[in-house]
Amino acid sequence: MPPKRAWQRMLSGRRLDLLDPTPVDIEIEDIAHGLAFVARWNGQTRGDWPYSVAEHSLLVEAILARATPRPDPRWQLAALLHDAPEYVIGDMISPVKDAVGPGYGALDARLAAAIHIRFGLPAALPAPVKKRIKAADRLSAWLEATEIAGFTKPEANRLFGQPDPALLDGLSLHLRPPAQTRAAYLARHSELMDQL
């Protein structure tokens, strides 16, 4: 029997091997397109448009920049790309990821490493950087949970930690058509790449 197909054809024409990804098969246009169409919270959010992983990634990068004095553009780029593997493997809520087990984490890590290398980042991020991105991710999750996913603030505090109000001041969530989100993601990626 021939081996089962483990690659996916991208709109760019690339064939990305999901089990053994290489940086040469990764294009930012594919990432931006995929993430703009992947809904956070399994689509269980208020509004006329799904809240996409691309929108979430833009917010996480903005939070990291706010929380970091003189942020390094490399780590801002890493924050923008923190959920990039989801352009091909989708988004799952954390409890489901835990239930799936280490196989999901390993797949995610292989894809993340290839994505990082493709855009000039280390395959594995330094632990302090990863920790800061995770903190921004949790803050984003708190804001999303309370503003569009139906969680109460006490419930979100228990699940994601109580946020620093100063980091949230003036932040808002964007619910917009995928084409607009894709364009915003690509524009921010380009800005950060120009700073490297």
Question: Residue 123 carries which DSSP code?
Answer: S
Which amino acid is residue 119, in one-letter code? Answer: F
> Which residues, 6 or more positions from 6, have their beta carbon under 8 angstroms from its beta carbon?
17, 18, 19, 20
Q: What is the pLDDT of residues 155-195, one digit of tens each?
A: 999 999 999 999 999 999 989 999 999 999 999 999 999 99
**CA 124/CA 110 separation, integer angstroms:** 10
Residue 144 lies in a domain: yes
Mean pLDDT of the chain: 95
| For residues 95-109, average pLDDT | 88
Give residue 147's pLDDT band: very low, low, confident or very high (50, 70, 90). very high
Residue 129 lies in a domain: yes
Q: What is the pLDDT of residues 44-94, one digit of tens each?
A: 999 999 999 999 999 999 999 999 999 999 999 999 999 999 999 999 888
Residue 1 lies in a domain: no
Full domain range(s) for residue 87:
7-195
The structural domain count of the chain equals 1
Please report, to the nearest 10 degrees, the dihedral formed by the alpha carbons of residues 163, 72, 122, 83 taken in order: 40
Residue 136 lies in a domain: yes
Residue 2 lies in a domain: no
CATH of the domain at 185: 1.10.3210.10
Q: How far is CA 65 from the centre of its chain?
A: 15
